[in-house]
């Protein structure tokens, strides 16, 4: 692949590639596996999307890491612990597999990754990864980090590890202004209001309430009609929901309204993690979302027991227009 693919795409998008992005382009234009890492908002997802769209093969797969992780667990169960057969289900005959948001925080996840990553690489598939973490920063818990070092060494040996860590956060500051050509997730809003239906959002009537079962679990929605899903934070994040529920709902509803979002220091760790997973899915599926909250976005995480990926979630929510009524 020519580096001009990226230069042309950047020109069409109206920005120059910074030095770190140029280094990433050189890696992506090669034939090696690539591990792109750096802080949120430095263009890793844009680089991966540009590469994926231009990759000269139809046999390619791009998937969010936690989505692949969950599906692989299910496939292994279906195949009686046969890992190669499970990878056949998920990867098939793909020449290229791209993972968004690769991360390892849980020791059990580290053990699982150490098991399947070598098998995937042995298939001869080109693997492209984006991450907020350098390989040496994966599984940082000092009680378990040493056990993960062989996998870190494998990444260092098998991938062109490339920092995308330029000085500019391209997402920061965008939430305060909104241009007419913004669409998808970036067209959404973070609305702080005492009103139940700010900015022309019609409050659902009681008779509009429905119970949905997107992945087998019942989820109560206040409205699910006309392409709009209006749902409360409590129904999505304080109940036992999962990213698979959000992905199915995102296929059916291009506009979401999530109401009743509290300061996250007032909820438990599991609702916080579900909210982070939800933001990831809505961002990755490019769903227009209005978040109706009791606090400004800058105060959402105040004094909360911060999750490991808080910076990424803040960066993604920073794409939204902020409205205070």
pLDDT tens digits, 271-281 = 998 998 899 88
Taking only the tens place, the pLDDT of each residue in 87-135 is: 999 999 999 999 998 988 888 889 989 999 999 999 999 999 999 999 9
Instruction: Indicate the pLDDT class of residue 62, thresholds 50, 70 and 90.
Output: very high
Q: Which residue has the tokens 């929901």?
A: 241
Instruction: List the 126-131 sheet strands across, edge first.
Output: 60-64, 96-100, 126-131, 33-37, 159-163
Per-residue pLDDT at 260 exceeds 60 = yes
Identical fold between 4-163 and 174-324 = yes
The two three-digit tokens of residue 174, written as one number: 């965008």
- Cβ burial, residue 52 (10 Å; 0-12/13-18/19+): middle
Tell me which fold the domain 4-163 belongs to.
Answer: Rossmann fold (3.40.50)
Per-residue pLDDT at 166 exceeds 70 = yes
275 — phi, psi (to 5°)?
-65, -40
* Model pLDDT, residue 317: 92
Percent of the chain predicted with pLDDT > 90: 55
**Which 3 state secondary structure label does DSSP give 250?**
helix
Per residue in 139-171, is it b (16+ CB within 10 Å) or e — as a string? beeeeebeebeebbebbeeebbbbebebeebbb
Instruction: Indicate the pLDDT class of residue 175, thresholds 50, 70 and 90.
Output: very low
* Model pLDDT, residue 180: 47
Tell me which fold the domain 174-324 belongs to.
Answer: Rossmann fold (3.40.50)
Q: Domain residue spans in the chain? A: 4-163, 174-324
Per residue in 292-325, is it b (16+ CB within 10 Å) or e — as a string? bbebebeebbeebeebebbbbbbbbbbbbbbbee
Q: Over range 291-299, report the average pLDDT.
A: 90
310 Cβ contact list (under 8 Å, min separation 6): 276, 301
Query: What's the chain's average pLDDT?
Result: 88
Taking only the tens place, the pLDDT of each residue in 191-206 is: 997 555 555 577 888 9
Taking only the tens place, the pLDDT of each residue in 39-50 is: 988 999 999 999
Percent of the chain predicted with pLDDT > 70: 91
């Amino acid at each position: 692949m020519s580096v001009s693919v990226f230069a042309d795409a950047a020109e069409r998008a109206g920005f120059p590639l910074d030095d770190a992005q140029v280094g990433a382009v050189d890696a992506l234009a090669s034939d090696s596996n690539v591990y792109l890492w750096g802080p949120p908002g430095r263009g890793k997802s844009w680089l991966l999307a540009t590469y994926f769209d231009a990759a000269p093969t139809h046999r390619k797969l791009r998937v969010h890491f936690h989505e692949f992780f969950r599906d692989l667990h299910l496939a292994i169960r279906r195949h009686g612990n046969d890992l190669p057969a499970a990878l056949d289900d998920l990867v098939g005959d793909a020449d290229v597999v791209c993972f968004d948001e690769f991360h390892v925080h849980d020791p059990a996840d580290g053990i699982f990754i150490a098991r399947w990553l070598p098998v995937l690489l042995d298939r001869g598939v080109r693997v492209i990864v984006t991450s907020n973490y350098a390989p040496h920063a994966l599984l940082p818990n000092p009680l378990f980090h040493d056990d993960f070092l062989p996998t870190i060494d494998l990444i260092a040996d098998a991938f062109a590890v490339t920092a995308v860590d330029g000085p500019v956060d391209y997402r920061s500051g965008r939430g305060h202004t909104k241009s007419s050509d913004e669409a998808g997730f970036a067209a959404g809003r973070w609305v702080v209001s005492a009103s139940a239906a700010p900015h022309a959002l019609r409050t659902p009537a009681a008779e509009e309430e429905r119970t949905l079962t997107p992945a087998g679990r019942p989820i109560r929605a206040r409205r699910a009609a006309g392409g709009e899903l209006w749902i409360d934070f409590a129904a999505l994040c304080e109940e036992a929901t999962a990213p698979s529920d959000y992905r199915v709902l995102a296929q059916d509803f291009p506009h979401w309204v999530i109401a009743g979002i509290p300061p996250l220091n007032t909820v438990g760790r599991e609702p916080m993690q579900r909210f982070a997973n939800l933001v990831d899915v809505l961002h990755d599926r490019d769903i227009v979302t209005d978040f109706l909250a009791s606090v400004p976005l800058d105060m959402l995480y105040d004094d909360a027991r911060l999750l490991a990926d808080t910076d990424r979630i803040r960066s993604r929510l920073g794409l939204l227009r902020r409205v205070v009524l």
